[in-house]
């Protein structure tokens, strides 16, 4: 007897996860003996700074850390987050009520919708954008309303173009700057406008700020909480993943409006048991004692940015060096869809890049390259692509 299981309707609405599909494609090409250069995912190849690793080793041997951690995160970790925000942005967040630990910011982003979105509600999500913004809405039985990120607007959403009907039903709005995948940046003036809109329409404003510390050429990314009155409506998601090359550690946090934090905390305390305390201790070391190493990480990515940008420009691509993130967002050659272009590049050159359409329909016509491999590998990737003669 064959048993057939029927997925819930919400699952049927969710497309396969882009990066899982890309992994399968990479494995298929590698199985042919191809040395694949993977520029598709934002996963730093640099090691986590040694001080952080040493803290983990020490704390992992302490039996106190082998028990269940605090659901909201160790107070000492949340205090380190609060101190970092004060030092970095001159923003005060209460470690007790305005700070929450996350098992990586992706987890918190996915769960925030469950706290505030019901059937019939709308969430305002950017496209192209991190796929979880859209998926989190669907899992909460809400309806995504797409805010297109267009080149003519500097890849910022046109807040004035959102129809009144959508604003009336909206419960959450997500923005993300420095931006993934476009690498665009936003001014504090834009963030101020977003805060004003959220206040007017009672919308929980969520800012994904994961790339704020990967900036170049003297650019310093702002926090949305720097906007006066932002904590009345906004929270910010951050992570140790990109800043300290800790993607696999799964250690992040949210800060801001205490009611929004409390809603997210209620979901989390019912579905997970927090972060391993040894990792939280390592996170404290990162936030308090890894400034020099973080500057070195940023310098390495800045050099790689210049190598890849110059290389792609030499091939005739419209590549612009970004002021932040570790991504290039580049138009595909004439006559190609983003998927067709990226498929040809992996099949014929063994270089894996990400089709823009994977970040939403408005990403069609672009591809994303992550400079998360060495300069030599970036140069080799450009050389391989040059032989395809687009």
Q: Which CATH number does the domain housing residue 54 bear? A: 3.40.640.10
Is there a single domain that holds both residue 239 and residue 346?
no
Mean pLDDT across 82-90: 98
Q: Is residue 5 assigned to a domain?
A: no
Is there a single domain that holds both residue 70 and residue 185?
yes
pLDDT value at residue 14: 84
Q: What is the pTM of this model?
A: 0.95
Q: What is the rounded distance in angstroms from the CA atom of residue 300 to the CA atom of residue 269? A: 38
Predicted confidence (pLDDT) at residue 93 exceeds the cutoff of 80:
yes
Q: Is residue 162 assigned to a domain?
A: yes
Last residue of a domain, one of 274, 289, 304: 289
Contact (CB, 8 A) for 129 and 368: no
Q: How many domains does one find in the chain?
A: 2
Is there a single domain that holds both residue 94 and residue 113?
yes
Nearest CA to 139 among 113, 121, 116? 113
Q: Which CATH number does the domain housing residue 370 bear? A: 3.90.1150.10
Q: Is residue 34 assigned to a domain?
A: yes
Summarised one tens digit per residue, pLDDT across range 352-379 is: 999 999 999 999 999 999 999 999 999 9
pLDDT band at 82 (very low <50, low <70, confident <90, very high): very high
Summarised one tens digit per residue, pLDDT across range 94-150 is: 999 999 999 999 999 999 999 999 999 999 999 999 999 999 999 999 999 999 999
Is there a single domain that holds both residue 205 and residue 56?
yes
- The dihedral region occupied by 354, where left means phi > 0, alpha psi between -120 and 50, and beta the remainder, is beta
pLDDT value at residue 15: 77
Q: What is the rounded distance in angstroms from the CA atom of residue 311 to the CA atom of residue 380? A: 10
Q: Is residue 84 assigned to a domain?
A: yes
Predicted confidence (pLDDT) at residue 25 exceeds the cutoff of 90:
no
Is there a single domain that holds both residue 154 and residue 235?
yes
Residue 173: both structure tokens together: 């709005």
Is there a single domain that holds both residue 54 and residue 35?
no
Contact (CB, 8 A) for 152 and 131: no
Is there a single domain that holds both residue 153 and residue 260?
yes
Summarised one tens digit per residue, pLDDT across range 236-265 is: 999 999 999 999 999 999 999 999 999 999
Q: What is the rounded distance in angstroms from the CA atom of residue 355 to the CA atom of residue 44? A: 19
Domain around 335: 15-44+292-386
Is there a single domain that holds both residue 174 and residue 62?
yes
Is there a single domain that holds both residue 165 and residue 29?
no
Is there a single domain that holds both residue 207 and residue 250?
yes
Q: Is residue 6 assigned to a domain?
A: no
pLDDT value at residue 384: 97
pLDDT value at residue 215: 97
Contact (CB, 8 A) for 322 and 370: no
Is there a single domain that holds both residue 305 and residue 273?
no
Q: Is residue 31 assigned to a domain?
A: yes
Nearest CA to 280 among 47, 43, 59? 59
Last residue of a domain, one of 271, 289, 307: 289
Q: Is residue 1 assigned to a domain?
A: no
Burial of 90 (0-12, 13-18, 19+ CB in 10 A): exposed
Is there a single domain that holds both residue 184 and residue 232?
yes
Q: Is residue 4 assigned to a domain?
A: no
Last residue of a domain, one of 250, 271, 289: 289
């Amino acid at each position: 007897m064959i048993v057939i299981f029927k997925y819930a309707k919400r699952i049927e609405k969710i497309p396969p996860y882009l990066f899982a599909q890309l992994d399968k494609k990479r494995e298929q090409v590698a199985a042919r003996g191809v040395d694949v250069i993977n520029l598709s995912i934002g996963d730093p190849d640099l090691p986590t700074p040694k001080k952080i690793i040493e803290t983990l080793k020490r704390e992992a041997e302490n039996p106190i850390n082998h028990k269940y951690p605090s659901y909201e995160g160790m107070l000492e970790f949340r205090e380190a987050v609060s101190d970092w925000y004060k030092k970095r942005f001159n923003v005060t967040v209460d470690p007790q009520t305005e700070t929450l630990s996350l098992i990586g910011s992706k987890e918190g982003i996915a769960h925030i919708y469950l706290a505030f979105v019901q059937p019939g509600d709308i969430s305002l999500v950017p496209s192209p954008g991190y796929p979880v913004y859209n998926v989190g809405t669907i899992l909460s039985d809400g309806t995504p309303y797409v805010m297109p990120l267009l080149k003519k607007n500097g890849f910022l959403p046109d807040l004035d173009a959102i129809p009144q009907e959508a604003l009336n039903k909206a419960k959450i709005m997500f923005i993300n700057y420095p931006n993934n995948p476009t690498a665009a940046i936003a001014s504090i003036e834009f963030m101020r406008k977003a805060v004003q809109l959220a206040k007017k329409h009672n919308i929980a404003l969520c800012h994904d700020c994961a790339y704020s510390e990967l900036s170049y050429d003297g650019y310093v990314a702002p926090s949305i909480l720097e906007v006066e009155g932002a904590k009345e409506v906004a929270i910010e998601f951050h992570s140790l993943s990109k800043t300290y090359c800790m993607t696999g550690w799964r250690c992040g946090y949210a800060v801001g409006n205490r009611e929004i934090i409390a809603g997210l905390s209620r979901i989390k305390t019912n579905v997970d048991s927090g972060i391993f305390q040894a990792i939280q201790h390592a996170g404290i070391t990162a936030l308090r004692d890894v400034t020099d190493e973080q500057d070195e990480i940023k310098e390495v990515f800045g050099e790689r940015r210049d190598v890849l940008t110059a290389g792609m420009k030499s091939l005739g691509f419209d590549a612009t060096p970004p002021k932040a993130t570790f991504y290039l967002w580049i138009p595909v050659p004439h006559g190609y869809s983003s998927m067709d272009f990226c498929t040809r590049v992996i099949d014929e050159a063994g270089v894996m890049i990400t089709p823009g359409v994977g970040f939403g329909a408005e990403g069609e016509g672009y591809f994303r390259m992550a400079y998360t491999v060495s300069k030599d590998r970036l140069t080799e990737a450009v050389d391989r692509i040059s032989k395809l003669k687009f």
